[in-house]
Amino acid sequence: MKPEPEHPPSFTLGEAAKRFTVSKSTLSKDRKSGKLKADKNEDGSFRVSFAELSRVYGDRLKLRTVEETVASNDTKHSETPINTIENSVLQARLELMEQRFSDAEATISDLRQRLDDAGGQIKSKDTQLTALLTDQREKAVQPAKRSWWQRLTGS
C-alpha cells in the first residue's frame, strides 16, 4: 500500500518564475485569462501546482540551471535549494505517473470485464445459431419393413 502524499508541490507565481523558464508576467497573464489554474492564498498571493504548470507549459517547462538561478537570485550558490526544487519536480512527476498507471489499470480491468461479457454473449448466440441451423422437427415414425414373404402372403 503506497503512502498518500501530503500535498502536491506548489509554488507562488514568483517562485515558479524563479525556478522554471517561464516569466512571472506570463504566469500572471495566463492565470488571469484562465489558461492556468492557481489557488489564491489568504495573503492575496497565488499558488500553482507543478502538475498544473506541466499541463499548461508541457515541454517548455524546464528547470532553470544553477547559473540561471544564481544570476536571477543574485545570491551564492547553495545545493540544498536546488536539490529541494529537483526533488519537488521529481515528486510531482512521480505522482503524475502513478495517476496515469492507476488509470491504465482501471482501463485494463474494464476491458477485461467487457471481454468476459462478450465471450458469454458469443456462447449464447452460438447456441441459438446452432439451434436454428439444425433440423428440429420430430422424425415421422416409419412402419417397419416387411419381409418379402410377409408382402407375398399379405400378413
Question: Which of 25-34, 54-63, 98-107, 109-118 has the lowest average pLDDT?
Answer: 54-63
- Contact indicator for 98, 124 with CB cutoff of 8 Å: no
- Position 94 scores a pLDDT of 92
pLDDT at 44 over 80: yes
Q: How confident is the model over 18-37, as a mean pLDDT?
A: 87
Q: For residue 13, give the nearest of 2, 21, 23 by alpha carbon.
A: 23
- Position 66 scores a pLDDT of 54
In the chain the beta strands, taken as DSSP E runs, fall at 10-12, 39-40, 46-49
Q: What pLDDT, in 10s, does the model give residues 5-21?
A: 445 578 888 888 887 77
Mean pLDDT, rounded, of the chain = 80
- Contact indicator for 95, 54 with CB cutoff of 8 Å: no
Q: What pLDDT, in 10s, does the model give residues 50-89?
A: 888 888 887 666 666 555 555 555 544 444 555 678 888 8
- Position 14 scores a pLDDT of 86
- Position 111 scores a pLDDT of 95
